[in-house]
Structure 1
């Protein structure tokens, strides 16, 4: 029968389960619990199972905690037998690092493979949770999943790097302040993740380079007018320029906080209040400088019939990614707006550490 979920659908279930605090099982042989949504009861249940559970964290978070990352991109912290919920969550969440900097010494595993732990972290990231998971290896993963009614997914599926296909759902006329000739297109990925949008101004010629911008969602800047970033002014500036020229496409990609989600972005803001810059804050949380996937923008442009762009950006990484995905960038159009006394240091960090041309 064709009613059973395929691997993409099972991974979507796994992300939802982890967000709710429900464990999942990896077919390669591991029980996985997201640390952020862990509760005391499930931690106690895990400890009663015996075995040797470990706390998988990224190398960035391990560096902050002075823990050895023998696996390169991650560390497997051996869980003490008397570990409490507050201790486990303090390893994952840097909120109290400055108040309580000594959390160790932490013992990390160096024997055996780490692919299951890597998959567990990848699933936590995809669920927009802190990148930390409790992992307990299982001898019979399938039986354990069936016995406890847990979602069972293959580890290689969580580690897959292919872009989920994007499907155009609907488009409709949308008159805007910048242009009454506006149209909004909705695209939905097959993997159940966030939808993405394309704002089309006028009737751009598909045969010539279109003025375009890849804009990542920023609730605080775009909607609330936050002064901590330049996102809102960039959004309005890009649309305004497209309105002036009479044509353009703005891709509004739901990759809040450089792809880490709004909750983690607010955690990063809290760390910035403690004196860390935007990149340092991401690293202390366990994330890369930038977790976004600009291939999404290239795919949407292709689906809309565009093959070349004049890209409104200060970020050379966007130009490189478009070119690598088969979208020709005939011109990089600077977009220098929105600097103020609250975001001056933020913009300086983007220039110094992320290569933005400001």
Structure 2
């Protein structure tokens, strides 16, 4: 029946539930678990989970496990047994690295080696997609399905947490005169998974039959809006618009993937870790994230929606070139965009070049 939620709609509902601290049900053919994100976990709900199974498990990423010196027998995920006497503060300390330097010893930690990690891996994917810390508490129990039905909890098959290609639908477009780019149009696109909207700024009147000067720009509230000197995002945004004005036309895709896809709150957590002496990649890893969590397939779909299939890409990041081409867009030229180097971001820029492959 069309009134029933689709898998994508259930996925978005589950993200919202996790952010509010509600448990969700994750299932596989082999089992089921009630899952709560550690960031929104409360003491009463931890007590409830303990009552449902012998010993709840804390799922952490392999990156976070490495920092904690915990064994990640499953490679990309560690299943940490929560001791019976461990409270909420113990779980929070394992999930959030804010106090790692002050209290470096968290263990010894016992992690599971036997059994499957499908549910734990799915729980981390779900927490990441909700832009929460990538850590979750799981209670595996034969009664999980019945409990979810009784309490009206959102239920997902673990496979439904896999990164599906998001489809974007146009909402509206309107004329927008811009200080740096001159005449243009702003297009708003809404993803079908209920996520935040993405934007395409069309400068001038680009020819759909020729390679268009294009910039894939990920949202950066601190750089684009506040003029942060810790990154080069603001200058890149302004430099791209200026280059398109000078070229007579162009397309700037503004993707709402703050902090390399981890969200503003986690980006600020990474900044706090950088204040402790870690570089940008190390900070992301200590939080449990990969180097870059963004999905540039969104850019390829936006370009196709606008009628473009060839671009001259303004970027210093070869990964953007590769991702666009995998999305069916021909990149005929990579156009360097070397702006925004400051004394405050010199270390950040050097790390991007050394660890993320940026051509600076």
When normalised by structure 2's length, the TM-score is 0.98
Pairwise CA distance, 1:349: 0.2
Pairwise CA distance, 1:141: 3.1
**Which shows bigger deviation, 146-155 or 83-92?**
146-155
Pairwise CA distance, 1:303: 0.7
Name the residue aligned to 1:96.
Answer: 99
Equivalent of 1:46 in 49, 55, 76 = 49
CA-to-partner distance for each residue in 1:313-343, whole Å, 9 max, x for gaps?
0001111111111111111100000100000
Asked if the contact 2:25–2:156 (Cα under 8 Å) also holds between the matched residues in 1, the reply is yes
Q: How does 1:247-262 map to 2 (within 5 A)?
A: 247-262=249-264
Correspondence 1:30 to 2:16: no
Pairwise CA distance, 1:40: 1.1
Q: Counterparts of 2:53 and 2:27 in 1: how far apart (Å)?
A: 19
Asked if the contact 1:25–1:141 (Cα under 8 Å) also holds between the matched residues in 2, the reply is yes
Asked if the contact 2:53–2:141 (Cα under 8 Å) also holds between the matched residues in 1, the reply is no
Asked if the contact 1:198–1:250 (Cα under 8 Å) also holds between the matched residues in 2, the reply is yes
Name the residue aligned to 2:181.
Answer: 179
Q: Counterparts of 2:215 and 2:295 in 1: how far apart (Å)?
A: 14
Q: How does 1:112-261 map to 2 (within 5 A)?
A: 112-159=115-162, 161-261=163-263
Pairwise CA distance, 1:163: 0.8
Pairwise CA distance, 1:140: 3.7
CA-to-partner distance for each residue in 1:118-166, whole Å, 9 max, x for gaps?
000000000000000001112143211111221111111012x321211
Q: Counterparts of 1:316 and 1:180 in 2: how far apart (Å)?
A: 29
| Deviating 4+ runs (over 4 angstroms) | none
Q: SS at 2:40's partner residue?
A: coil
Q: How does 1:269-348 map to 2 (within 5 A)?
A: 269-348=271-350
Superposed CA RMSD? 0.8
CA-to-partner distance for each residue in 1:157-182, whole Å, 9 max, x for gaps?
012x3212111111110111123321
Q: Counterparts of 1:50 and 1:73 in 2: how far apart (Å)?
A: 24
Q: Counterparts of 2:174 and 2:54 in 1: how far apart (Å)?
A: 56
Asked if the contact 2:55–2:83 (Cα under 8 Å) also holds between the matched residues in 1, the reply is no
Q: SS at 1:269's partner residue?
A: helix
Q: Counterparts of 2:351 and 2:27 in 1: how far apart (Å)?
A: 42
Q: SS at 2:194's partner residue?
A: coil
Q: Counterparts of 1:56 and 1:277 in 2: how far apart (Å)?
A: 25
Q: Counterparts of 1:24 and 1:103 in 2: how far apart (Å)?
A: 28
Name the residue aligned to 1:3.
Answer: 3
Number of matched pairs: 357
Q: SS at 1:27's partner residue?
A: strand
Equivalent of 1:357 in 347, 356, 359 = 359
Pairwise CA distance, 1:244: 1.2
Pairwise CA distance, 1:194: 1.3
Pairwise CA distance, 1:48: 2.0
Asked if the contact 1:242–1:248 (Cα under 8 Å) also holds between the matched residues in 2, the reply is yes
Q: Counterparts of 1:74 and 1:319 in 2: how far apart (Å)?
A: 29
Pairwise CA distance, 1:39: 1.0
Asked if the contact 1:212–1:249 (Cα under 8 Å) also holds between the matched residues in 2, the reply is yes
Q: Counterparts of 2:201 and 2:144 in 1: how far apart (Å)?
A: 46
Name the residue aligned to 1:14.
Answer: 14
Q: Counterparts of 2:166 and 2:325 in 1: how far apart (Å)?
A: 19
Asked if the contact 1:30–1:137 (Cα under 8 Å) also holds between the matched residues in 2, the reply is yes
Asked if the contact 1:309–1:329 (Cα under 8 Å) also holds between the matched residues in 2, the reply is yes
Q: Counterparts of 1:79 and 1:117 in 2: how far apart (Å)?
A: 14
Pairwise CA distance, 1:30: 0.6
Q: How does 1:74-113 map to 2 (within 5 A)?
A: 74-113=77-116
